[in-house]
Chain A
Amino acid sequence: MIGIISYLAFFGTVASILAIAVLGLNLQWGNTGLFNGGVAAFFGAGAYGAMMLGGPADPLQFGAFELPYTIAFAGGIFLAALVAWAVGLLTLRLRHDYLAIATFGVAVALEAVARNAEWLTGGAKGMRGFPRPFEGLFEDQFTYNLAFLAFVVLILIAVYVGLERLVRSPYGRVLRAIREDEIAARSLGKNATRLRLEAFVLGSAIIGAAGVLYVSFYAFISPQDMAPILTFQIWAMLIVGGAGNNRGAVLGAFLIWGAWTSSGFLLAKFAPTAVQIYTGPIQYIMIGSVIVGMLLWRPQGLLPERIERTKTGNEAPGKTASQG
C-alpha cells in the first residue's frame, strides 16, 4: 500500500512538472499559434540555469555557486526567458512550419552546446548533485517526496490560474486574434510582432520553470534530458489534451505520461516472457497509435478549446466583460 502511495507521489510529481511545460507550450501554440519545435531547449535552459546557480562546487563544471534555491529557481527561469527572447527576435518573423523548423534547429544546436561545452555544462556527463530544496526539513525520504509533490502541484495550480486569467483577459483575446488573423489584428492597431514575442518569452519561461523543477527533483541534468523526444512528448500531451484549453493541457500531460509509463508496467507484468524483450518497441507502437488515432478522430483533443464570447447582460459581471 505504502509502496503504491510512494510510486503515485513520484508519478504525480513528474506528470505535474511535464504539465507545467505543456501549459507553457499551450500559451504559445494553443493561444498565440506559435509553433515551438524547440520545447526541449527552453526546458534544458531552465534546468541548466538552476543547476549552474544552485549546484554544488565541482572542479569539472562551470558555476556551482551554491546560491539559495529561490535565486537558482529565478535564475533558471530567467535563462530560459533570455534564450527565448534571443531566439524569438531572430525567428518570430517566420510562420508556422518555418518557425517550427527554426526552433527545432535551435534546440538541436543548444543540445550540441550542452554536449560539447564541457567547461560550461560538464559535457555529455551532465551535471549532478543539485541540493534538493527543503530536504533538511523532513526526516525521511517518503515524507519529503510527498511534500515535494505538494510543492510542484502548488506551482502547477499557480501557473494554471495565472494563465486562465491571462487568456480570459483582453490580452488573451489579442493573442487569439493574432493566431486567427494577424493582418486583422494589425489593422486594429495591435503590435503583433511585440505580442508574439511576449507570448513566446512567457511560454518559454514557464517551460523553463518546469526544467527547474525537473532538476530540483532528479538533482541531475545531462544533454540526454534535452533530446528531441522531450519536445515530442510535450507536443503529444498538448495535442491529446486539447490545444487552446489549459485544462486539456494538464489532462493531456497526465494521460500521456500515464500511458507512457503504465504501458511499460503492464507489458512487464502481463506479457509472456518471450515477448518481454520486445516490450520497448511494442510500447513505442502503442503510444504512436494513440497519437495517430487522436489526430484522425479527435484532432481538437479531448478537451477542445472553448471560446468564451463576451456577452453583455446575462453573463456574470467581472468574468470577462468588465475587464474589456
Chain B
Amino acid sequence: MKTKYLRQLVIAAALTVGGASVAAADCPVKVGVALPTSVDWGKPIAETALWVADMINEAGGVDGCPVETILRDTQVDAKVGVDAAKAMVDLDKVQLMMGAVSSGVTLPILTSVTVPAGVMQISCCSSSTRITGLAEEGSTKGLWFRTFATSNVQSAVLTKLAKDAGYGKVTVFYKNDDWGQDMASLLDNALKASGIEVAASIAITDNQPSYRAEVTEALGGNPDAVILALYPKEGIAVTREWISLGGTTKMVGANSLRSEEFRDAVGMQYLGDFIGADTSSPRTASASAFVEAYKAKFGGEPSGPGLPNSFDAAAISLLAYHAAGNGATGAEIAAKVPMVTDPAGEPVDANVEGFKKAMALLSEGKSVSFQGGTGAVTFDANGDVSAPAVSWVFTETGIDERQYIPLEEVNAFIQSLN
C-alpha cells in the first residue's frame, strides 16, 4: 500500500520534471563549464571559455539575456567531474555543458549526465576515438560536439608529412595516455597504409627520471626519422636523450609540441629538420584575429594546448544557444550548431563585432560561417571536427608555418589510407 503510493508520487514527480524544463526561460542564461582548473594547463582553457562568455554578453547576450557561466573544477577525477556536471544539470538546470578535457572524464559525463538529461555537451580538448564509436552507435543522440581534431585526423596529417618528406622507416614515440595510445595505433595503421615501415612504437610514461631504455630501444630500429606524439614536458626529455645518444634529428612532431619551451629546451641547432603538424588553419584572418585578441586580453601568446579550441567551443555553442533562443533545450541548441558553422553562410569574425553580426543574422534565421581560432570549423555527423591542416617549423625567432593543407586534401588523404 505504502510502496504503491510512493511509486505514484515518484511518477508524478518525474512527470513534473518533464513539464518544467520546457517553460524555463529566465534570465540570466546559465551555462555549465566543467574543466580541470586546478591543473596548470587547464586554467587558461577555462579562462578562455569565460572570456568568450564575457564577449557574448558585451555583444548583447544569448537571446537578449546575459550569460552566467558556472565554472566547476573536474580535478581530472571522473567522480568529481561527473558530480560537478550532475549538480549543474540538476540544480542549475543548464542546457549547455562545456567540458571536459580528459576523455576519461568527458566520457562518463556524457553517458551518465548530459545525454540522459538531454543536455548539449561540447568539449574543447577530448580526442578519444572511443567517443566517436559512441556517437556512431547513436548513444550521444546528436548532443555531443568537440572542437579538437580527433586522433584520426592528427595521425593522418603526421603520416602525410612523413611521407612527403620521403621517410621510408620511422619510429614512433607516444605519450602513454588515452590520446597517445590512440595516436600510436592510428599512426601504425596510417604509416603502413602509405608504405612507410614502422621500426618501433614506444610508449613514454610521464614523470620518469630518464628515458634511456626507451631511447636505446628506438636506436636499435635504426629509423630514418622519428614521429613524436608527445607533450612538451616529456617531449623535451625524450628528444634530448635521443639526440645525445646519436639519434637522427629528422623529426615529425604533433601539434602539442608547438611551443617555444620545447624549442628553447632542445636547442635550435638540433631542430633544423623538425617538421610539426597542426590541424588548425591559422592562416585565416580570423585565426590571427584570435591571437591578437588573446594577447590584448591576457598579455601573452596563446601558447598552451587547446586555447583556440576552447575559444571556438564556447563561441559556437553560445551562438547556437542564441539561435535556438532562451529556454531552448539541449537538443534544440545542438540542432542549431550547423547554422553557426555553415560553410555557405555569411562569414563572421571571432570578436565582439563578429558576435553582434552573427547574432543579428541568426535571429533573422540566416546561417553564418563562424571564423574561429581554429579556422572555419565544421562538424560531421558524430560531432567530430574536421579542419584543414598546416605544417610548421621552428626558427630562431619563433614558429613559422610552412605549408597549408586544405580541408579537401586532408580528407582525400584520409580516404586514401582506407
Contact = CB atoms under 8 A, between A and B. Distances in A.
Contact of B73 (A6, A224, A280): A280
Contact of B83 (A14, A126, A227, A283): A14
A277 B38 CA distance: 9
Interface residues of B, number: 58
A87 B181 CA distance: 29
Contacts of B182: 125
A296 interface: no
Contact of A229 (B77, B89, B117): B77
Given A7-B91, A126-B178, A220 B78 contact: yes
A10 interface: yes
B26 interface: no
Nearest to A281: B38
A128 B13 contact: no
Contacts of B47: 277
Contacts of A218: 78, 82, 108, 111-112
Contacts of A124: 104, 176-181
A128 B111 contact: yes
A222 B50 contact: no
A284 B91 contact: no
Given A3-B91, A7-B91, A283 B73 contact: yes
Contacts of A279: 37, 71-73
B17 A142 contact: yes
Interface in B93-116: 93, 102-105, 107-108, 111-112, 116
B141 interface: no
A148 to B, nearest CB: 11
A114 to B, nearest CB: 11
A224 B102 contact: yes
A62 interface: no
Given A264-B72, A264-B73, A277-B50, A128 B134 contact: yes
B203 A6 contact: no
Contacts of B149: none
Interface residues of A, number: 48
The B interface, classified by DSSP as helix, strand, loop or mixed, is helix
B13 A5 contact: yes
Interface string B36-55: 11110011001100100000
Interface SS of A by simple majority: helix
A2 B20 contact: yes
B13 A2 contact: yes
A140 interface: yes
A222 B104 contact: yes
B90 A123 contact: no
A265 interface: yes
B79 A14 contact: yes
B381 interface: no
A269 B72 CA distance: 10
A222 B78 CA distance: 9
Interface of A: 2-7, 10-11, 14, 112, 115-116, 118, 123-126, 128, 140-143, 146, 217-220, 222-225, 227, 229, 260-261, 264-265, 268-269, 273, 276-281, 283-284
The 4 closest A-B pairs by CB, nearest first: A280-B38, A280-B73, A7-B90, A124-B178
